Structure 1
Amino acid sequence: MSLIALRRALTEPATPGIGPLPEDVTRLLLDLEAPPRLAAHLRAVHDTARGLVDAFGETLPRLRFDREEVLFGAATHDVGKVIHTGELSGPGHAHEQAGYELLRTHGVDARLARFARNHATWTAADISTEDLLVSLADKIWKAKRVGDLEDRVVERIRRDCGGSPWEAFMALDDVLDALARDADDRLAFQARHPITVVTGP
Structure 2
Amino acid sequence: MTPPPDLLDQALHAPTDPPLRPLPPQVVGLLRTLEAPPRLAAHLRAVHDVAFQLVEWLERRCPELAVNREAVLFGAATHDIGKALHLDELSGPGSAHEEAGRELLSAHGFGPDLARFAGTHASWTASDVTLEDLLVSTADKVWKNKRVAELEDLLVVRLTRASGRQPWEEFLALDDLLGRMGDGAEHRLAYQGAFPVHA
Q: TM-score if structure 2 supplies the norm length?
A: 0.96
Q: Paired residue for 2:63, among 61, 65, 69?
A: 61
Partners of 1:83 and 1:134 lie apart in 2 by 21
Residue in structure 2 matched with residue 126 of structure 1 by the alignment: 128
Uncovered stretches (5+) of structure 2, i.e. residues with no partner: none
1:92-146 C-alpha deviation (Å, 9 max, x unpaired): 0000000000000000011000000110010011110000000000000111000
Q: Paired residue for 2:72, among 56, 70, 73?
A: 70
Number of equivalences: 196
Residue in structure 1 matched with residue 45 of structure 2 by the alignment: 43
Equivalent residue letter for 2:38: P
Q: Secondary structure at the match of 1:91?
A: coil
Q: Paired residue for 2:116, among 114, 117, 138?
A: 114
Residue in structure 2 matched with residue 10 of structure 1 by the alignment: 12
Residue 57 of structure 1, CA deviation: 1.5
Partners of 1:60 and 1:170 lie apart in 2 by 14
Partners of 2:19 and 2:78 lie apart in 1 by 20
Are the counterparts in 1 of residues 62 and 162 from structure 2 also a CA contact under 8 Å? no
Partners of 1:25 and 1:126 lie apart in 2 by 26
Q: Paired residue for 2:82, among 57, 80, 83?
A: 80
Residue 59 of structure 1, CA deviation: 2.0
Partners of 2:188 and 2:171 lie apart in 1 by 25
Runs of 4 or more, structure 1, over 6 Å off, are: none
Residue in structure 1 matched with residue 151 of structure 2 by the alignment: 149
Residue 159 of structure 1, CA deviation: 1.1
Partners of 1:44 and 1:19 lie apart in 2 by 8
1:185 corresponds to 2:187: yes
Residue 3 of structure 1, CA deviation: 7.9
Residue in structure 2 matched with residue 174 of structure 1 by the alignment: 176
Q: TM-score if structure 1 supplies the norm length?
A: 0.95
